[in-house]
Amino acid sequence: MPGPDNNHHRSATISVLVDNESGVLARVIGLFSGRGYNIDSLTVAPVDDTRGRSRINVVTSGTEMVIEQIKAQLDRLVPVHRVADLSREGPHIAREMALVKVLGTGEKRVEALRIAETFRARVVDTTIESFVFELTGATDKLDAFIDLMHPLGLAEVSRTGVAALARGSRTI
Amino acid sequence: MTTEPNQEAPNAAGAEVLLRALKDQGVEVVFGYPGGAVLPIYDAIFNQNAIRHILVRHEQAAVHAAEGYARSTGKVGVVLVTSGPGATNAVTGLLDALMDSIPLVCLTGQVPTHLIGNDAFQEADTTGITRPATKHNYLVKRSEDLARVVHEAFYIARTGRPGPVVIDLPKDILIGKAPYAGPVSTHRSYRPRTEPDPAQIDRAIALLKGAKRPVIYVGGGVVNAGPEASEALTRFVRMTGFPCTNTLMGLGTFPASDPQFLGMLGMHGTYEANLAMHGADVLLAIGARFDDRVTGRLNAFCPDAKKIHIDIDPSSINKTVPVDVSIIGDAGRAIAALIAAWDADAAVPDRAGLASWWRQIDVWREKQSLRFTQDTAPGALIKPQYAIRRLWQLTRAQSKDTFITTEVGQHQMWAAQHFGFEKPNRWMTSGGLGTMGYGLPAAMGVQIAHPDALVIDIAGEASILMNIQEMGTLAQYRLPVKVFILNNQYMGMIRQWQELLHGSRYSESYSNALPDFVKLADSFHATGLRAENYGQLDDVIHRMIASDRAVIADIAVDPMENCFPMIPSGAAHNDMILGPEHEDQARGITDEGLVLV
């Protein structure tokens, strides 16, 4: 069969520029749930007040054919200006932020703090039995930090999802 | 059409501004049903004569009628319904129009803006409910947006891949003063691509020139591209000498009487069309979307063909079937570009290859996959296929332009197989969604658009009951629509699948307690006719065609007849069941096939 390999799954970071109007996020989310596509993470915020535009970053996964279909379906939505597959259109930076609450005392508490320093996580809240760490970085770095905190009293995690841009002078 | 929205000071009520925008869009007819939230619009309609309102009996029918109107004219169909149940009743029609790419604008009433979210009387989250059932939808929350939104909605509905657009109108917006702005022909983010890429056209021509076993597979996109697209298609097929097959939605784009026509393809398509698809070395798909009813088992679909796909919707390309050359654009312009490139290239098809391909196709044609046997004793049971054949022959023998709509089921497939269409826009059927109850209201819409035409809804006795209330609309507007019921006393396609796949356990598929259709017609001020046997059929068809009133012709047909040929679910094009003698093939269907619809 012609065309891309139909069995290999890959992850894709897709940025979508949309008109900042009511219902636009519901259109995007409804598209993913209605057609059975994965959402690994999703962020949305206004990025251009003068032109009234928001940027949605979706991390998804699927076969090459499915990802191409996701992009085409997104591009078909009326309020969508631009769809960019950052993971295909050259190198890109993707970052997310996590707030991680760890409970504990004694040696575990010291170990948590030591690891946090290694990861350059900031302590943004502390009591004598808890820390809240703020950590920014690539998704796998956040995953690794959270894994390490598990045995050290990990209590709660809040993550933002991915913000992403192309490297260099390229813009979407 | 202007592109400058020349906004005027707000000096008219929203409902008046709405009607002015509709008039500026060239709207002549609106199909609707009143209710509390849209009373200001009905008041505005009362005070003018430019736009005609057709009062249906159920909102679903308003949408199907607008679809029939749109599909038979190429114009945008317009629907007007109230909030809450008015909007939810319209949803089936909206999704039907979305699946079949029919341009509609549906105006829905809404509770006043200050009550939205309060579970007010007849409130529904209409934009939420219709989001996956429309191409786009709007909730107008500010009077200054009203005129712009209406014009945008029409632009979006009719351009690109056409589809339904909902405008949800809170009652305070309809009553309050609103400014007016003129039509637009651009949009800030929505910009459909219509001009094909010349480089892709050249790649297509290179493949087509070298083809030894080509097939041109044409769908409803060519209907949507306007009658000139069908004319261009016919020219291209004839200049290449290639065989051409139509999808259910594409019937009429290429003349059925042409020797290069292979008939419809797909689940109930002809043997020659499906075998040609299976054996093709180059496939040219135009305005068709590789629907599961067309492809059969995907990994066995056109296994040896280089594939060229022309579609205006980029998301249709490589959706289920990867293609070698993709041409995004309007089907008519793409065909015109193919013709120009073929001429410029002085291209000559591979004549020897084609001749042997046509010899192979003729061998497949000899199977006569649409054959049936009609007993010609006067008291014999009528075969449903024969009833359609006679309807076709007798309508051809009269001078009126003939339009056919259908409901959904066996009768729909028999109509597609046995009624020959020579021109586009003459065949209205629910293809994608498969909506029973579509045919009668769609026929109403067609008859409104073409008052002097012969409009026939080919129906089943089960489907027709889903929107039978529209007989009242036919009576009110004296619409001479003909309802031609193939009455086999079963939901025939359900019964057929139960026979072939579920051990003949006819669970709930018998049409029990049917009405007397002759009396039913009579009670709605229409003419009722019934044919019980072969000897009565022609007379009933003649009287139906000759009548200047609405007619229900109730044709009693063989209750156990199955629709063949058939590609059973999960099977490939070359695994067709040709007739009852091969039914065992279906019984050997895999579990994987059994889960498919």
Contact assessment for residue B308 and residue B214, using Cβ atoms and an 8 Å cutoff: no
Contact check, Cβ <8 Å, B323/A75: no
* pLDDT of B591 above 80: no
Among B100, B116, B204, residue whose Cα is nearest residue B161? B100
CB contact under 8 A, B323 and A2: yes
Closest partner CB to A78 (pick from B156, B319, B324): B156
Catalytic residue among B23, B121, B228, B560: B121
What's the whole-number mean pLDDT along residues B23-41? 98
| Boundaries of every domain in chain A | 9-90, 93-164
Note the pLDDT tens digit of each residue in B500-542: 999 999 999 999 999 999 999 999 999 999 999 999 999 999 9
Count of A-B CB contacts under 8 Å:
52
- Judge whether B127 is closer than 8 Å to chain A, CB to CB: yes
Q: How confident is the model at residue B588 (pLDDT cuts 50, 70, 90)?
A: low
DSSP chain A: --SS-SS-EEEEEEEEEEE--TTHHHHHHHHHHHTT---SEEEEEEEETTTTEEEEEEEEEEEHHHHHHHHHHHHHSTTEEEEEETTTSS-EEEEEEEEEEEE--THHHHHHHHHHHHTTPEEEEEETTEEEEEEEE-HHHHHHHHHHHGGGTEEEEEE---EEEESTT---
Mind listing the pLDDT tens digit for each residue in B199-209? 999 999 999 99
Average pLDDT over all residues of chain B: 96
Nearest to A26 among B131, B189, B315 (CB): B131
C-alpha to C-alpha distance for B237 and B229, rounded to whole angstroms: 12
pLDDT over threshold 50, residue B1: no
User: In the structure, what pLDDT confidence band is assigned to residue A5 with cuts at 50, 70 and 90?
Assistant: low
pLDDT at B551 over 50: yes
A93-164 CATH fold: Alpha-Beta Plaits (3.30.70)
Chosen for mutation from B189, B295, B324 (greatest number of chain A CBs closer than 10 Å) is: B189
Decide: pTM greater than 0.80.
Answer: yes
pLDDT tens digits for A57-75?
999 999 999 999 999 999 9
Say whether domain A9-90 belongs to CATH 3.60.20.10: no
| Helix/strand/coil percentages in chain B, nearest 5 | 40, 15, 40
Mean pLDDT across B33-51: 97
**pLDDT number for residue A6:** 64
Please give the C-alpha separations between residue B231 and each of B234, B332, B339, in angstroms, as whole numbers.
5, 9, 12
Catalytic residue status for B121: yes
pLDDT band at B4 (very low <50, low <70, confident <90, very high): very low
The shortest CB-CB distance from A1 to any of B135, B313, B322 is to: B322
Instruction: Output the pLDDT for position B5.
Output: 53
Catalytic (active site) residue B59:
yes
pLDDT in tens, B369-379: 999 999 999 99
Query: What pLDDT is attached to residue B6?
Result: 61
Q: How far apart are CA B72 and CA B442, in angstroms?
A: 10
Chain B residues touching A22 at Cβ < 8 A: 139, 141
Please report the pLDDT score of residue B589 as a whole number: 72
Answer yes or no: is pLDDT of B291 > 60.
Answer: yes
Angle between helices A24-34 and A64-76 (to 10 degrees): 150
Q: Which of B569, B568, B528, B532 is nearest to B552 (CA)?
A: B528
The stretch B282-308 carries a mean pLDDT of 95
Q: Residue A2 pLDDT > 50, yes or no?
A: no
| pLDDT score for B45 | 98
Closest-approach residue (CA) in chain A for B140: A22
Residue burial B330-340, b: 16+ Cβ < 10 Å; e: rest: bbbbbbbbbbe
Average pLDDT over residues B214-241: 98
Closest approach of A88 to chain B, Cα-based (Å): 18
Give the pLDDT of residue A7: 78
- A7-11, A114-118, B408-412: lowest mean pLDDT where? A7-11
Per-residue pLDDT tens digits for B255-266: 999 999 999 999
User: φ and ψ at B583, to 5 degrees?
Assistant: -60, -25
Look at A78 and B139 and tell me if their CB atoms are within 8 Å.
Answer: no
Give the residue-averaged pLDDT of B136-153. Answer: 97
* B318 in contact with chain A, both atoms CB, cutoff 8 A: yes
Q: How confident is the model at residue B10 (pLDDT cuts 50, 70, 90)?
A: confident
Residue B562, pLDDT > 70, answer yes
Q: Is B471 annotated in the active site?
A: no
Would you state the pLDDT for residue B61? Answer: 98
Residue B185 touches partner A, C-beta closer than 8 Å: no
CB contact under 8 A, B189 and A81: yes
H/E element, B91? helix B85-99
What is the pLDDT, as a whole number, of residue B177?
97
| Residues of A with Cβ-Cβ distance to B99 under 8 angstroms | none
Query: Can you give the pLDDT at residue B593?
Result: 76
- Indicate if A93-164 has the same CATH topology as A9-90: yes
What pLDDT shows up at residue B3? 40
